[in-house]
Amino acid sequence: MALRYGFSLFFPAFLFLSVWAGEGDGPANPAATRETVHLFRNLKKLAGKGFMFGHQDDLAYGVNWRYEAGNSDIKTVTGDYPAVYGWDLGGIEMGQENNLDGIPFKKMKQFIRDGYARGAVITLSWHARSPSGAEKGAWDTTHGTVASILPGGANHALYKTWLDKIAVFIAALKGSKGESIPVLFRPFHEHSGNWFWWCRNACTDFEYKTLWRFTVYYLQNEKKLNNLLWVYNTSDNVKTSGEFLARYPGDDMVDMLSFDAYQSDDPQKNDWFVKNVGSLLKMIGELAKEKGKLTALAETGYEAIPYPEWWTDVLLKAIGDNQISYVLVWRNHGYAEWNKKMHYYAPYKGQVSAADFQKFYDLPVTFFEKDVLAEKLYQ
């Protein structure tokens, strides 16, 4: 009781929000824009029919190409674009022109507008650089870093400048009628892991929740961004719903439950991926049903996809009959200089899994861009 009282005195505004927000079948934000409300409701309906396919950085580059207008590795295989485009804001907090993987933010804005104009869904992640260990970027686990950016912390004013930069970027994302483009925002992702400065080995559950609540409060109430759907995300190491929800900030500040899981070993020798992803999707599906939220497999993939049937024999089986909004595979960097191997997760023309990906594309349950255009997700 004493703790609660002290806490609410310290951070009143964003604590009290929880009293009345988050009810009903719309997004958590009661002031969400029309298109954002439509997207939330349409995604709920869509989850009963199938799931969307997403790809990180899809329009910017692929294996063996960079910045070619209209190009997409997914399109070279299927003739269609993904239904979900993932982009990462890492670096924006430093005022950089390019994100951590070299994409100019100016180009990213245009890719986002292009994807939205074609009826697709946009999701943003944020590999924010640690204020404590800048040279390691987001991959710094100095204790106390999250605490330092919370209200009262030494880096709190700095953190607000980061959010101000994010707000400028997001506010510039407009559709042809001047409407704000809805964004599935997934900050501080994979928090159950042990590699980022917001992970569970680097900050307490309470600090994480406070960081989330402050971030939502600031972007929604101070910056008036009402086009965000908030995506809560863990890694694949959580076993129970209690563990999954350990850092859940509240129904009033989350719209989607998700986790990230990658195939790391040979799927023909080890069925861990199918089993684990399947059971985690079931678990978050049940939680989402209770809470009236959406779900996703927010990041996945098998690096360089050496198993030709990975799409229909592994990924599809892992998803099973779980009703999720989307699955997104990570970026197609191509040859990675830093560890001297290929780093990509989506097929491209001629890649060994391309034929199987075409089969995956042809299934009635997989939604790509042409399918979602017909769904009119924003109306």
Site string for ligand BMA, 104-133 (x = CB under 6 A): -----------------------x------
Residue among 44, 71, 101, 334 that touches ligand BMA (CB under 6 A)? 101
Distance CA 88, CA 84 (A): 13
Distance CA 203, CA 196 (A): 10
Distance CA 295, CA 298 (A): 9
Of 88 and 93, CB closest to ligand BMA: 88
| Catalytic-role residue among 35, 93, 190, 207 | 190
**Other CB atoms within 10 Å distance of the CB of residue 227:** 24
CB of 123 closer than 8 Å to CB of 184: yes
CB of 329 to ligand BMA, least distance (A): 11
Distance CA 142, CA 52 (A): 37
The verdict on 189 binding ligand BMA (CB under 6 A) reads no
CB of 64 to ligand BMA, least distance (A): 17
CB of 54 closer than 8 Å to CB of 327: yes
Q: HEC string of 49-108?
A: CCEEEEEECCCCEECCEECCCCCCHHHHHHCCCCCEEEEECCCHHHCCCECCCCCEHHHH
Residue among 165, 186, 213, 331 that touches ligand BMA (CB under 6 A)? 331
| Catalytic-role residue among 35, 93, 207, 299 | 299
- Kindly determine how many residues on this chain lie close enough to bind ligand BMA according to the rule CB under 6 A: 6
Of 293 and 331, CB closest to ligand BMA: 331
Is 190 designated active site?
yes
CB of 133 to ligand BMA, least distance (A): 16
Length of the chain: 379
The verdict on 188 binding ligand BMA (CB under 6 A) reads no
Of 35 and 88, CB closest to ligand BMA: 88
Of 88 and 255, CB closest to ligand BMA: 88
Q: What backbone torsions phi and psi does residue 76 show, to the nearest 5 degrees?
A: -65, -25
The verdict on 222 binding ligand BMA (CB under 6 A) reads no
The verdict on 330 binding ligand BMA (CB under 6 A) reads yes
Q: What backbone torsions phi and psi does residue 109 show, to the nearest 5 degrees?
A: -60, -45
CB of 260 to ligand BMA, least distance (A): 10
Tokens of 326: 């989307």
Residue among 17, 100, 277, 294 that touches ligand BMA (CB under 6 A)? 100
Of 46 and 231, CB closest to ligand BMA: 231
Residues in 34-73 that interact with ligand BMA by CB under 6 A: none
Of 223 and 331, CB closest to ligand BMA: 331
- Cα angle 264, 284, 324; round to 5: 80
For residue 358, which amino acid is it?
Q
Residue with tokens 């569970």: 200
Is 299 designated active site?
yes
Residue with tokens 């509240």: 250
Looking at the annotation, which residues are catalytic? Answer: 190, 299
User: Which residues contribute to the site for ligand BMA (CB under 6 A)?
Assistant: 88, 100-101, 127, 330-331
